[in-house]
Amino acid sequence: MAFGWIDEQARARRAAGLVRTLRPRPADSPLLDLASNDYLGLARHPEVTGAAADAAHRWGGGATGSRLVTGTTELHGELERELADFCGFESALVFSSGYAANLAAVTALAQHGSLVVSDAGNHASLIDGCRLARGTTQVVGHADPDAVRKALGTHQGPAVVVSDTVFSVDGDAAPLAELADACREYGAGLVVDDAHGLGVLGDGGRGAPHAAGLAGAPDVVVTVTLSKSFGSQGGAVLGPAAVIDHMVNAARTFIFDTGLAPAAAGAALGALRLLRREPERALRARAVATVLHTRLTAEGLEAVRPDAAVVSVRAPSPERAVRWAADCREAGLAVGCFRPPSVPDGISRLRLTARADLTEEQIEHAVSVISRTR
């Protein structure tokens, strides 16, 4: 059989406890949600959903084509200008997803003959970007600027360093200022994915690069997603105008992909404007993460100290992590469950989202459920 090998892989996944399944959720779930990436609690905010509905009514259900044909509306341009201004960069370009934005940034900036230095803990979208890039990729130790220097020192020619700003598994932050220093010693560019930093870190949620003093730097390019703190969908690349112009002309996931749906663009713009008015939401998300970590560790659980809004709790095995998450669900709490191959170190975890709209009572409930179901 042409696809007979699939059955063998399925058996191996079952034996290792690594089978993944889809679980459709109802519109109004009774579960307390600590599994999503809705860090600021904006996905159902009436201003955000209202902006999405208004955009769909005005511009239609879809973008109707690629951005270079009919897929760019005035709304897309408005979102790009306000996003660039908020994050402190010269220009921005919106994509249909954060994944597409990362593929674009890495492939378009790693020309033939260049070196791509990639952190070992990077997200799958950055890893795939490195695989598709025409340059040579060297993977270095996690959050290690000296390893980056060593890699850059072996190469003559253009180079880019690629890293998450906040790593999605444990929620730890990259040493951005030190990485930028290493890049500048060797004339390399720095490309960072701020998916888990935008809306949470920096002044008023302007992101990790802004907090590190890198916003607007001519040698720094930032990718973001609109599907986490902004409660919408889509992604963007931020950077110097010349880089963004290059993306328009060279990034295949921009040129050949249908533009972001107007409803998603409208929702993201609504969320951005709301965050400008309510910057305290970013502080609240970080505060909730700290409280969750403190109380979970007080219960004897092994939790990684959060640098943003992700709280990671170690599990003894993939099977135990799956059972633990299922027991939490039965007790009314939705938590994330990360297992190999999603985790680079092979250690399974429960992954918790510290949302800005969680109440004290909800935090206590979550800690209680996680502790008693371990």
Mean pLDDT, consecutive 10-residue stretches, the chain (374 aa), reads 90 84 89 97 98 98 97 98 98 98 98 96 97 97 98 96 95 97 98 98 98 98 98 98 98 98 98 98 98 97 95 92 95 92 80 96 97 95
Q: Which of 277, 310, 331 is the last residue of a domain?
A: 277
Q: How far apart are CA 326 and CA 314, in angstroms?
A: 15
Q: How many domains does the chain have?
A: 2
Q: Which of 230, 259, 277 is the last residue of a domain?
A: 277
- Would 23 be classed as within a structural domain? no
Roughly how many angstroms between the first and final C-alpha of the chain, as a whole number? 43
Together in a domain, 72 and 176: yes
Q: Which domain holds residue 268?
A: 46-277
Among 66, 50, 67, which residue's Cα sits nearest to residue 58? 50
**How confident is the model at residue 191, as a pLDDT?**
98
Together in a domain, 68 and 87: yes
Cα–Cα distances (Å) from 134 to 102, 116, 159, 162, 308, in that order, read 15, 10, 12, 15, 33
**How confident is the model at residue 154, as a pLDDT?**
94
Q: How far apart are CA 227 and CA 235, in angstroms?
A: 8
Together in a domain, 61 and 163: yes
Residues 287 and 309: beta-carbon distance below 8 Å: no
Q: Which of 277, 309, 325 is the last residue of a domain?
A: 277
Give the burial string for 13-48 (b: 16+ CB within 10 Å, else e). Answer: eeeebbeeeeeeeeeeeebbbbbbbbbbbbbebeeb
The residue type of 120 is A
- Would 121 be classed as within a structural domain? yes
pLDDT tens readout for residues 122-172: 999 999 999 999 999 999 999 999 999 999 999 999 999 999 999 998 899
Together in a domain, 202 and 298: no
- Would 166 be classed as within a structural domain? yes
Residues 237 and 101: beta-carbon distance below 8 Å: yes
Together in a domain, 227 and 166: yes
**How confident is the model at residue 21, as a pLDDT?**
85
Together in a domain, 141 and 170: yes
Together in a domain, 225 and 353: no
Together in a domain, 312 and 291: yes
The residue type of 324 is W
Together in a domain, 186 and 287: no
Together in a domain, 270 and 283: no
**How confident is the model at residue 150, as a pLDDT?**
98
Mean pLDDT across the chain = 96
**How confident is the model at residue 67, as a pLDDT?**
98
Encode 291-332 in three state secondary structure.
HHHHHHHHCCCCEECCCCCEEEEECCCHHHHHHHHHHHHHCC
Q: How far apart are CA 138 and CA 152, in angstroms?
A: 9
